[in-house]
Amino acid sequence: MNFLEKHLEDPVHFARIKRWFYVGLAVVVLAEIVLPRIFHGDQHHFSFESFPAWGSLYGLASCAAIIVVSKLIGKVWLMRREDHYDS
């Protein structure tokens, strides 16, 4: 049983990983909001980039949009049976 197996198969370990993941997300969001105010970072190209936690929000929105829209296009139009070209 290797290192990964120990952490993924054991529910207690897995719950701990999950918790750290959420903590990490919270830290990143906080860093994104707070740090630019303290250090006055680089110039933005667009106004929407100054929106608090822009990166996190756009990442989540992009991810959801890609999955939902792609699956929709796929179901309605593009996806075919594997033997589509064989017949």
Partner 1 sequence: MTLEWVHPGLLLILGAWVLPFLKGRVKRVAMLILPAAALAACVRMSPGTYGEASFLGQDLVFGQVDELSLVFSYVFSIMALLGMVYALHVEDDSQHVAALTYAGGALGVTFAGDFLSLYVFWELMAVSSVVLVWRRRQASAVAAGFRYLLVHVVGGLILLAGIVLHWSQSGSLAFEHMGAFSGGTAWGLILVAFLLNAAVPPLGAWLPDAYAEATVTGGVFMSAFTTKSAVYVLIRGFAGTELLVWLGAAMAVYGVVYAVLENDARRLLAYHIISQVGYMVCGVGIGTPLAIMGATAHAFAHILYKALLFMGAGAVLQVTGLRRLSDMGGLYKTMPLTLGLYMVGAFAISAVPLFSGFVSKSMVISAAGEEHLALVFLLLSLASAGTFLHTGLKLPYYMFFGKDSGASGQEPPRNMLVAMGLAAVACVLIGVFPGLLYQHLPNAVIYVPYTLEHVTSTLGMLGFTALGFFLLLKHLDPERTISLDTDWFYRRGSAGFLALVQSRLARLEYDFVGELYEFVIRRPVLGAADLVRKLDSLVVDAAFVGVGRSTQTLSQVLKTAVDGHVQHYGLMMAIGVLGLLALAMLTL
Q: Name the residue nearer to partner 1 (CB basis): 12 or 81.
A: 81
Q: Name the residue nearer to partner 1 (CB basis): 11 or 85.
A: 85
What is the C-alpha to C-alpha distance for residues 2 and 5, in angstroms, rounded to an integer?
Answer: 5
Minimal distance, residue 15 CB to partner 1, in Å:
14
Residue 7 structure tokens: 């952490």
Contact 54, 32 (CB under 8 A): yes
Residue identified by tokens 């929407």 is 48
Minimal distance, residue 85 CB to partner 1, in Å:
5
Minimal distance, residue 52 CB to partner 1, in Å:
11
